[in-house]
Amino acid sequence: MNAFNVSEHMQTLGLQAKAAAFLMARADAATKNIALKALARRLREAGPVLAVANQKDLERATAAGLSAPMVDRLKLMPKVIETVALGCEQLAGMADVIGEIIGMKQQPSGIRVGQMRVPIGVFGMIYESRPNVTIEAASLAIKSGNAAILRGGSEAIESNKALALLVSEALAEAGLPVEAVQLVQTTDREAVGQLIAMPEFVDVIIPRGGKGLIERISRDAKVPVIKHLDGNCHVYVDDTAEFDMALRIVDNAKTQKYSPCNAAEGLLVSASVADDFLPEIAAIFAAKGVEMRCDPVAAAILRADEALDPKARVVDAVESDWSEEYLAAVISIKVVAGVDEAIAHINRYSSHHTDAIVTRDHVHAQRFLREVDSASVMVNASTRFADGFEFGLGAEIGISTDKFHARGPVGIEGLTSLKYVVLGQGEVRT
C-alpha cells in the first residue's frame, strides 16, 4: 500500500468513526449490552476460525525469528479467548455510566446546574503483540459509548482481523454501527503517524507498548494521549511496620511476578528497623534469586550478617539504580532516616505509578498518602494491586502515569467526559 492510500484509508476510518461515535453516544444501555453478549458468544463459536488466523501470524513470527516470549504473547489460546469472552459478559453486567448526572444543584439565579457523563467520542488505540487487546479495547469502546480505531501490531494482523470481524458482526447484530470499532487494515507504520494527527476525528490516543513507542507517540500526537511510561514502584518499611506484614508485602510486590508495571523495583527501609528487617527480607530474596542493589548502609548491614544465605546477591547500587524499572529479579534497597526521606526519595525517583508504605503509625500513613505524588498510593498493601480489576473498575484500558484527565488504572470513566447541563424555567442573566 503506498503512502497516498494509507492516508486515504485513515481519513475514511476517521470520518466513519466520527459518524459512528454520535450513534454510539445515543445508544441505550440494553443495546450496548446485547452487542457485548453477542461478541462473547461469537468469540466462543469462532475458535476454529481464530485458530487458523492465529496460526498464520505464528508461522510468520517464527519464520521472522521472533523470540519465544514474543511468539507466546501472540498465541490466541482457547483460555485467552474464554477470558476475553468472560470480560465482555462482565462489562454487559455492569451498570451503564453514560448519561448519569451528578452534582445537580440550584444556583442563586434559579437555574439548576449539574454534570452529565458522556463518551469522549473517538479513541485511537495503538498496541503490540497480544491480539486479545483487540477485544478488550472493542468491548470497552462499546460499553462506554465511544467509537474506536484500533491499530494492533503487524505481527498479529491476521488474528486481529479475525477478531475485528467478530466485533463488527456483534455490533450489526445489536443494530449498532459496525464502524464503531474499526481495525486499521494496513501494517504500514505511516498509519500510526496519521492516526495520532487527526484531531478532527480522534479525541484521544491510548498507546500500549514499550517506552520508546509511547514517548514517540506522546511527542508527535496532535491530540491528548493517555499514557503509561515506567512503573518504578516502591515499598517503604516504616519504623512501626509489623515485620510479618512487611515481609509478606515486600515479597509479594517484588516476586509474585517480575514483569508487571506494578511490581516493586525499590525497597526503602527506615534506619530504626533496618538492622533487623534487612537480613529477614534478604533471606527471602536470596532463596528466590533476587539480586539486591544496595546503598552503602544496606550493603554494610547485609555483608555484616553472618547468617546470610551464601546465594544472596548483594550488589552496590549506582545512582541509576534508583530510577530503574528492572522488570526482573532485581530490587534496589536503600536505608532512609524515616518517612520524610522516604517521601522525598519516592517523589524524586519513582515514576509516579504506585508506591506503598508499611506502617502502624497513623500520622506517617496520612502523610505518605497525601504527599507521595503517585497515581496510586497505598498503606499496608502490595503495589501489585494497582490494576483496574483489583480497584473495582471492572476493566482497564491502561494505566495512566499522567495527572491530567485520568490517573492510575483507566476504566470506563476514563473514557468519558463530564459536560455541564443546565435546567431553567426561562431564567436570563442580569
Residues of this chain that bind a copy of itself (CB under 8 A): 22, 25-26, 99, 105, 107, 109, 111, 113, 116, 118, 120-121, 203-204, 224, 242, 244-245, 248-249, 251-253, 256, 347, 356, 369-371, 373-382, 384-386, 390-392, 402-405, 407-409, 417-430
- Distance in angstroms (rounded) separating the CA atoms of residues 174 and 26: 14
- CB of 311 vs a copy of itself, minimal distance in Å: 24
Q: Which is nearer to a copy of itself, 244 or 306 (CB)?
A: 244
Q: Which is nearer to a copy of itself, 50 or 247 (CB)?
A: 247
Q: Which is nearer to a copy of itself, 64 or 421 (CB)?
A: 421
Q: Which is nearer to a copy of itself, 59 or 215 (CB)?
A: 215
- CB of 3 vs a copy of itself, minimal distance in Å: 23
Where on the phi/psi map is residue 106: left (φ > 0), alpha (ψ -120 to 50), or beta?
beta
Where on the phi/psi map is residue 398: left (φ > 0), alpha (ψ -120 to 50), or beta?
left
Q: Which three cell numbers stand for residue 318?
A: 549506582
- CB of 353 vs a copy of itself, minimal distance in Å: 11
Contact call for residues 125 and 149 (beta carbons, < 8 A):
yes
- CB of 424 vs a copy of itself, minimal distance in Å: 3
- CB of 261 vs a copy of itself, minimal distance in Å: 13
Contact call for residues 223 and 203 (beta carbons, < 8 A):
yes
Cα 1 to chain centroid distance, Å, stands at 32
- Distance in angstroms (rounded) separating the CA atoms of residues 389 and 411: 9
Q: Using the Cα atoms of residue 299, residue 304, residue 307 and residue 311 in order, give the sign of their dihedral.
A: positive
Contact call for residues 117 and 157 (beta carbons, < 8 A):
no
What is the amino acid identity at position 331? I
The single-letter DSSP state of residue 292 is: E
* Element housing 38 (H / E): helix 29-45
- CB of 366 vs a copy of itself, minimal distance in Å: 9
- CB of 18 vs a copy of itself, minimal distance in Å: 10
Q: Which is nearer to a copy of itself, 14 or 131 (CB)?
A: 14
Residues β-bridged to residue 105: 113
49, 159, 269, 272 from 60: Cα distances, Å: 17, 12, 49, 57
Residue in 127, 134, 119 with CA at minimum distance from that of residue 22 = 119
Residue in 311, 125, 147 with CA at minimum distance from that of residue 226 = 125
Q: Which is nearer to a copy of itself, 99 or 209 (CB)?
A: 99
Q: Which is nearer to a copy of itself, 186 or 380 (CB)?
A: 380
- CB of 219 vs a copy of itself, minimal distance in Å: 8
Residue in 28, 20, 3, 261 with CA at minimum distance from that of residue 121 = 20
Q: Which is nearer to a copy of itself, 288 or 311 (CB)?
A: 288
Q: Which is nearer to a copy of itself, 90 or 154 (CB)?
A: 90
- CB of 371 vs a copy of itself, minimal distance in Å: 6
